[in-house]
Amino acid sequence: MKKSKNSSDLHGIGRRKKSVARVWLKPGKGKILVNDLEHKKYFDTDLSRTRVEFPLQLTSMNSKYDAVVNVCGGGMIGQSTAVSLGISRALLTVDENLKKILRQNGLLTVDSRVKERKKYGQKGARAKFQFVKR
């Protein structure tokens, strides 16, 4: 991440599973636009919506910045986690002192778990075909 005083450089990238979220923070009133839609319309569950809002509410920056997000890949839960991580990283470019608060709440920890690949000669990643003795 680049540190800069220019407001157009308040940028963060978040990833989760196959989802990638690019986040830009701009001075505003707390709107979060995800792929040109308001985040409450884009994300269908309350858990996803609160996960996206949490970094801004925790740092009490929700009335100071608007977030413009471009997210692609994966499902809704993975996308909401990627957006949350992207917003948290963008907030670090605003103020480095927020790192302790964000770290304590697990917002800077990357969840690196991904789906395990299917193996040849097996039914799935771990599941095998049923063994027939006779």
Distances (CA, A) of 115 to 18, 58, 74, 105, 112: 9, 30, 11, 25, 10
Residue written as token pair 């605003």: 94
Q: How much is the pLDDT for 91? A: 94
Q: Quick check: 60 pLDDT over 50?
A: yes
Task: Say if domain 7-104 classifies as CATH 3.30.230.10.
Answer: yes
Q: Quick check: 7 pLDDT over 60?
A: no
Domain spans, the chain = 7-104
Strands, sheet with 65-72, edge to edge from the N-terminal-most edge strand: 11-16, 19-27, 65-72, 32-34, 37-38
Q: How much is the pLDDT for 73? A: 95
Q: Quick check: 4 pLDDT over 60?
A: no
What average pLDDT does range 42-65 have in this prediction?
93
